[in-house]
Homo-oligomer: A and B are copies of this chain.
Amino acid sequence: MKQLTSFDAFRIGPKHRLADIKPNLKTFKLGGKKEERAQLEVLALELNDLQNRLYAEGQRKVLLVLQGMDTSGKDGTIRWVFSRTSPLGVRVSAFKAPSAQEKARDFLWRCHAVVPAAGELTVWNRSHYEDVLVPVVEGWISKEQTQQRYEHINHFEKLLTDTGTTIVKCMLHISKDEQRNRLQNRLDDPEKNWKFAPEDLTARAKWSDYQQAYDDLLNATSTSYAPWYVIPADDKRQRNLLIAQLLNSTLQRMDMQLPPAAPGLQDVVIE
């Protein structure tokens, strides 16, 4: 398989806009479904090894942030990319509309409570970035307040990276047409229609406002220490392959080492 040596094409730089990256881009030409599934299995097994080493080393932390419009595939990404890792070392936190208790604190409070510990890989299914999306689009906060939140986010992520956390942020980028297909599919399939929430159409009705809010946050918070990657997500397997490669290559670069054995181990006798 084509091993991407650089993810720069998907990384949000100063002049990048969401519209520059096609949601239906196919990065990997592997043949068909069978070959793509097989390749994902290879990557998932490799991620399991890497995660074991991260856990064994027990020093550093990895945080994968997943954002995207409804149906963009956050759950599916987690299901497939982590299909071969153990829940022993992978933890998922999902952020929904904040509770009364959460609203009574600053917007980073609930996120800080669930950052990965040493040796852990944590996935955020939605994140603190929700707080610069809905409130912005709905006009609940001003431009100045939004700007202030970006700064708080950057400082928070700097704190985490300075203390041993590698942050990978992925925005799952789907087209409005593909969202229609997926919502229609939920509506039509009796096994899936419990997932359909009429509220999902509210955000869809403000599609371009959300795209703008994403563009603004991506540009304001894609830092050198915690860059954003925009993942073409109209094709589910291509999406999974790209995120799996990005995550694996990030962990490979961390070059985890097994901790040394306790001193004097050669003299130990087990009665």
Q: A residues engaging B (CB < 8 A)? A: 56, 75, 78-79, 82-88, 90-92, 123, 125, 180, 183-184, 187, 191, 193-194, 196-198, 201, 204-205, 258-262, 264-265, 268, 270-271
Contacts and interface: CB of A to CB of B under 8 A. Distances in A.
Contact of A87 (B123, B204, B261, B264): B123
A69 to B, nearest CB: 13
Nearest to A181: B270
Q: Which 3 A-B pairs have the closest CB atoms?
A: A193-B261, A194-B259, A87-B90
Nearest to A264: B198
B78 A194 contact: no
A198 B79 contact: no
B197 A262 contact: yes
18 contacts: A78-B86, A78-B88, A79-B86, A79-B88, A87-B90, A87-B123, A180-B271, A184-B270, A187-B268, A191-B258, A194-B259, A194-B260, A194-B261, A196-B268, A197-B262, A198-B262, A198-B268, A201-B268
Nearest to A52: B79
Given A79-B86, A87-B78, A87-B92, A183 B270 contact: yes
Contacts of A84: 83
A22 to B, nearest CB: 22
A261 B90 CA distance: 32
A204 B271 contact: yes
Given A193-B265, A194-B56, A198-B268, A91 B91 contact: yes
Contacts of A86: 78-79, 82-83
